[in-house]
Every structure is written in C-alpha cells, then in structure tokens.
Structure 1
C-alpha cells in the first residue's frame, strides 16, 4: 500500500468537490513531507511518464488521489534510495499490476563485492564493479574502454555511483546503432560543463553554516539538474529538426 502524504487526497476545494486536484493543491499536499518540491518538479515527473494527470478542455492539469499517492512514492524513493526514474517507474508499474515486487537492488544496502554503502550525511548509493557489469550486460574490456574515455569513473574505493548503471546501459544501447564510446566524449564534456554551471549557482548555499540552507542546496541541485537535462533534450530535438516523444 503506497503512503500518501498527509493532507493529500482530501486537501483543497477541488479534492472535496470532485476528487480531482489542481497542481497547486497537489504541491501544497506534497510540501508537508517534501518541502523542496516545486511545480517544475511535478511537471518534470509528468514529462518522464511517472504520472498521467487528467486535462480539462482548456488544458489544465487535474490530479487524482492516486496521482498524489504515486507522486509521494516517487519522491520518497528518490530521496531515500536515490533510484533512477526509469527504475522507479518500472517498480511502481509492477506494483500497480498487483505483482509482489521487492525494492530494486540499486539503492539497497548489501555486502560483498556488490556492496552498496550508505555514508553519513546525504545517502550515497554505490554499486560494485561486478554488479555494474551484470546490470549493463557488458564485459570487463568494454567497461575499461568506457572508463578510458571518461564516460564512467569509479570512486576512490573502486565502486560506482548508482547512476553509472543507467550510463552504462545507454552507452551499450547507443553502441548497437554504431555510436562508439569515442563519439560520446563530446556529450561527456557538455555534461561536465552543465554540472559546473549548476555547481556555480548552488555554491553559496553549500558554503552556508545553516544546515537547512545546505539541505536546500542539495534540493536546488536536483531541481536544476532536472531542468538542464530537459533543456538539453529539447535543444537536441530542435537541432535534429524532428518531433520526438
């Protein structure tokens, strides 16, 4: 049973009158548990296929209690387990089909070579080298080649950030279209520049002595990262001159 943020399904006039809520009502309900959430974040999760709110004839979004419940679960899995959105979507879809599914392995504590460590402070999900190879269905030689081009970079202890699983899977998928790792260096360089811009914006917040302000810096970083990725995708689509989903 998914947990709904308190104040959710019954909040606001729209909820009381029809069971449907405006995006503002949903935002207020979510902020009780997720104070950093924004309207842009909700729209981004919709664009990524995590929720599908109804639309009025004039185009306004209307969210059901189920949409609110699903949003709360998505935000909770991001916050507590740092799972990629694709993994979260597949997990929730399986749950809604009535399947008994465990929490995905990426984001859980484990032991041995496939260790996932949780450090003090913000949770940091890490995957072991053998787990990365298995998840992306690649061999050691391929991983070493990708590392040589800077597409994947192990941490100091030899493990990888959990997002490396997504990166490796996408590099492998592009390879099936003839796009080689050396071709992707330009994308890595662009990503590094975008990350540098985000870091520049949030740096004053990170240096603040107030713990709440530093926590805001982490939330702001996530929001800016989501927006830059969305902009990057839109610019690529525009450059190609084609309509893509």
Structure 2
C-alpha cells in the first residue's frame, strides 16, 4: 500500500510516517519510481509506535524496543525480559516529570489565587507597586 493508504488506515499523517521512516521505525519498500510501498504488517507497526509514543517514550527508545514488543491483543508487552529494567527506568523518568509539573501547577494555582477578585483591586494594587 502507498503512504496515503497507510495514513488513512492508521490515522497518522503522511509527514509522521516519513518521520517514522527517518527514525528507523518503518522500512517501506520502494518502487523504481521511488514511491514508498508499505506491507500490511506496517499498519500494526504504526499502531504500536503510536501506543509507545503516547506512553511517553521517544522514537530512539521505541526503535530499540519495538522488535521485542509483543501484541497481546489487549496491548503491548515486552517479549524480552531484559526490557523490563529499561521500561521501568522510563516510567521513573516520566514520574519525575509528572511530579515537577504537579509542583508547577500548584505554584501557578497559588499565583492565580493571589489575584484580586476584581479589576479595581488589581489596579489599586498595581498602582501601589509601580508608584
């Protein structure tokens, strides 16, 4: 199938599919005219890539783990036990990022809460600060 068909069947843009190819996640055949031709199995590959991207993994990591991932029918699972420590490290990295974002949100909530309820109070406060 051509790139447009793969894009339609997976809901992924042609631009993203080209990017996946650049990153070594897809390896379509080429016609003599240079057109990409994808295998039926590439539909699943793209879906797996999307799932792993949505899980917070980057394409370099995905390129390394994708060959060992197994589709269980309910999702992906590592088919190689040696992947588990790497997946746990990625999960820990994401947890740290989530904690940092939660802290930032709390601080922003405090700033928002400190804002006077109406414009006149804000303008008076601003005048005291500037003047």
Superposition TM-score, scaled by structure 1 size: 0.33
Instruction: Report deviation, 1:71.
Output: 1.1
Instruction: Report what 1:54 is aligned to.
Output: 29
Deviation at 1:156, TM superposition (A): 6.3
Report the alpha carbon displacement of residue 99 of structure 1 after superposing the two structures with TM: 4.7
C-alpha distance in 2 between matches for 1:156 and 1:23: 37
Matched, 1:127 2:127: no
SS at match of 1:126: helix
Q: Deviations over 1:73-120 (max 9, x none)?
A: 0011111x1101111111112348x95245622453xxxxx5x6xxxx
Name the structure with the higher strand share: 2
| Structure with more helix by fraction | 2
> Is 1:24 matched with 2:1?
no
1-side partners of 2:2 and 2:101: how far apart? 46
**Counterpart Cα distance in 2 of 1:89 and 1:23:** 20
For residue 66 of structure 1, report the CA deviation from its aligned partner: 1.9
Q: Secondary structure at the match of 1:27?
A: helix
Which residue of structure 1 lines up, in the alignment, with residue 88 of structure 2? 105
Partner of residue 75 from structure 1, selected from 30, 50, 53 = 50
Once residues 101 and 17 of structure 2 are traced to their aligned partners in structure 1, the CA distance between those partners, rounded to angstroms, is 35
Larger C-alpha radius of gyration, 1 or 2? Answer: 2
User: Aligned residue for 1:218?
Assistant: none
Question: Higher relative contact order at CA 8 Å, sep ≥6: structure 1 or structure 2?
Answer: 2
- Give unpaired runs (5+ residues) of structure 1: 1-20, 32-36, 109-113, 117-124, 129-153, 159-245
What's the counterpart of residue 117 of structure 2? none
Distance 1:76 1:29 in 2: 15
Q: How does 1:38-187 map to 2 (within 5 A)?
A: 38-79=13-54, 81-95=55-69, 99-101=79-81, 102=83, 104-108=87-91, 114=92, 125-127=94-96, 155=100
Q: Cα RMSD between the aligned structures?
A: 2.9
Residues 106 and 127, structure 1, Cα contact 8 Å, conserved in 2: no
Structure 2 unmatched ranges of 5 or more: 71-77, 104-131
The TM-score with structure 2 as length reference comes to: 0.58
The whole-number CA distance in structure 2 between the counterparts of 1:127 and 1:22 is: 41
CA contact (8 A) 2:29 2:37 kept: yes
